[in-house]
Homo-oligomer: A and B are copies of this chain.
Amino acid sequence: MTTPTAAPTAAAPATTAELRASVGPLWQALLEHPFPAGLADASLPLERFRYYVTQNLLYLPDYARMLAVGASRSQNGVVLEEYTDALVNIVKVEIPQNERMLAGVVELAGAVPARDGVRAPATVAYTSWLLSIAANGDANDIAAALLPCAWSYGEIARGLVDGAVAHPVYSGWLAFFASGDYAAVVTTLRESFDRELAGMPEAARRRAAEIFLTGCRLERQFWDQGFSGATWSDLS
């Protein structure tokens, strides 16, 4: 059951650039979120980064699972191969990179407390949402759902990397997501979805916009959770 989450007066977005524009100031809120800003000026407590990376290592396998569903729903060999490549990137590159960052922060700040290892509210919400889109959507719905995370991370990191304070762990985060390799992954995702969007009917593009908007909201919640260290009220 779809719900209007934005005034459907304008035409539905027909490019990924229009998708981004459609969420208004929410995109800017991601770029300026205090969590990554705290990585750049090294003001973020290590305990919060450790919590964030711990939760991210619960998040990424489900992100990978969504990409696997995208491969399984592909209607042709090109899309099958694109989703396979994206899946490999998460499993073979991003998850190991997060594991290295976790090892780094654990060395500095000690082991992960049991409470931080519980799948937290924003993690449950975001991973469940990815998997539910994967379950009931088509390959284009999945493309809209994976984009907020992948795309915003690159833009956030590139916007912060230049003036960043050197830090034994945080610098690696910024360098990874500001890299040309990472930008190339995002460019591939965007170009592929730009091609699809051009041919999608109005209703499908409107649904893509709604999915993209919800994805941005869940991105923000996930940053908020890392920044505040919040979890379930029965564990607080």
Main secondary structure of the interface of A (DSSP, over half): helix
A179 at interface, CB cutoff 8 A: no
Q: Which residue of B lies closest to A207 (CB)?
A: B75
Known: A129-B128, A136-B131. A80 touches B58 (CB 8 A): no
A118 at interface, CB cutoff 8 A: yes
List, sorted by A's number, 9 A–B pairs whose CB atoms are closer than 8 Å.
A3-B58, A4-B114, A68-B84, A72-B134, A81-B91, A124-B125, A128-B129, A128-B132, A132-B132
Q: What are the residues of chain B within 8 A of A68 when measuring CB–CB?
A: 68-72, 83-84, 87
- Copies of this chain present: 4
Q: Residue-by-residue, is A59-70 near B (CB-CB < 8 Å gives 1, otherwise 0)?
A: 001101110111
Known: A81-B91, A91-B84. A25 touches B124 (CB 8 A): no
Q: What are the residues of chain B within 8 A of A113 when measuring CB–CB?
A: none
- Name A103-136 residues within 8 Å CB distance of B: 114, 117-119, 121, 124-125, 127-132, 134-136
Q: What are the residues of chain B within 8 A of A130 when measuring CB–CB?
A: 132
The distance from the CB of A120 to the nearest CB of chain B, in whole angstroms, is 10
Q: What are the residues of chain B within 8 A of A3 when measuring CB–CB?
A: 58, 117-119
Interface residues of A (CB under 8 A from B): 1-5, 24-26, 29, 58, 61-62, 64-66, 68-77, 80-81, 83-84, 87-88, 91-92, 95, 114, 117-119, 121, 124-125, 127-132, 134-136, 138, 201, 214, 217-218, 220-221, 232-234
Q: What are the residues of chain B within 8 A of A70 when measuring CB–CB?
A: 68
CA distance A80 to B61 in the complex (A): 8
CA distance A12 to B47 in the complex (A): 32
Are B80 and A74 within 8 A (Cβ)?
no
Known: A64-B80, A77-B95, A134-B72. A58 touches B1 (CB 8 A): yes
Are B72 and A65 within 8 A (Cβ)?
yes
**In the complex, the 5 A-B pairs of residues with the closest C-beta atoms, listed nearest first:** A135-B135, A125-B125, A131-B132, A68-B71, A128-B128
Are B76 and A1 within 8 A (Cβ)?
yes
The distance from the CB of A193 to the nearest CB of chain B, in whole angstroms, is 17
Given contacts A4-B117, A29-B234, 19 further A-B contacts (CB under 8 A): A1-B75, A2-B75, A3-B118, A4-B114, A4-B118, A5-B119, A68-B71, A68-B84, A72-B134, A81-B91, A88-B88, A119-B214, A121-B221, A124-B217, A125-B125, A128-B128, A128-B131, A135-B135, A220-B233
